[in-house]
Amino acid sequence: MNTIQTMNPQTKEELFVEILLRLADDRLILGHRLSEWAGHGPELEEDLALANTALDMIGHASALYAYAADIDGKPDEDHYAYFRDDLDFKNIALVELPKGDFAFTIARQFLFSAYSYFLYRDLIGLVDDDQFKGMLQKHFKEIKYHLRHSREWILRLGDGTETSHIKLQKAFDELWMYTGEMFAMDNLDQKAIEHSLFTDVSKCKEEWINLVSSTLEEATINVPDNNQYMYNGARKGLHTEHLGYLLAQMQFLRRSYPDAEWK
């Protein structure tokens, strides 16, 4: 895929494809990170919960990719998932960070699900493309559950044992510099807003902060300083070193055996 061209979409269709890919890439990469917990969850029940969430998110990505492929004239959703390199992935850095311990995974899930919740809510009220809207409405129900599940865990880990409290505080402190990208807007976002293809996410930042702050306070966790350095640029291809390793694992089979089929 030609990176330069896709970063400067000319038509409304190209712009729409970029928006779909940004949404999808966030969800595929975080879904993959969650899937790494399969068989390693702290409890059997939580193992299932994490796998369920992973499947939900990969499902969201798959639907978004399929729609993008339709508009973009690409063969199918696999084209985007398996045959692009790290520079072409448009996900934010937050979702590509290694899965860490359970506290880290849950803290990230909570931050991302809260962001998804407000983003999807606003997008549903805005978009006029029926297929896109239907997709968002369907996924929104699952996002609400992801938010509820991760939020309940934050309360229990934060206000749980001394160890769980320390681990969770450390997770939020490490993650915070990657939260800025969720609300960073670039030219592409601005153009998409003009075409009613995307919402001004900077507007829901305050609601996000309020939800996150009140949850962390209830969990006796300190809210990290929001004025600290924030990572930026992953949507343009400036990823952390971790994405390459993730893609190597995720894409290996499909690239080595392009004709492989489920039998």
Partner 1 sequence: MSTNLSTSTEWPLWEVFYQPNDGKPFEHAGSVHAPDAEMALQNARDTYTRRNEGISLWVVPTDQITASSPEDRGPFFDPANDKAYRHPQFYSVPRAVKKRK
Distances from the Cα of 116 to the Cα of 11, 97, 112, 204, 229, angstroms:
26, 18, 6, 10, 23
Q: Which of 152, 186, 206, 225 binds partner 1 (CB under 8 A)?
A: 152
- Based on DSSP, count helices (H) and strands (E) in the chain, helices before strands: 11, 0
Cβ-contact 125, 60 below 8 angstroms: no
Q: Which of 148, 203, 236, 254 binds partner 1 (CB under 8 A)?
A: 148
| Residue listed under structure tokens 């190597």 | 248
Q: Interacting stretch for partner 1, rule CB under 8 A, among 74-82, 93-101, 146-154, 248-256?
A: 146-154
Question: Phi first, then psi: what are they for 18, rounded to 5°?
Answer: -60, -40
Interaction between residue 159 and partner 1 (CB under 8 A): no
Give Cα 176 to chain centroid, integer Å: 15
Interaction between residue 156 and partner 1 (CB under 8 A): yes
Interaction between residue 46 and partner 1 (CB under 8 A): yes
Total residues interacting with partner 1, rule: CB under 8 A? 12
3-state secondary structure of 41: coil
- Interface mask (CB under 8 A) for partner 1, residues 51-70, using x and -? -x------------------
Nearer to partner 1, 54 or 61 (CB): 54
Residues that bind partner 1 (CB under 8 A): 43-46, 48-49, 52, 145, 148-149, 152, 156
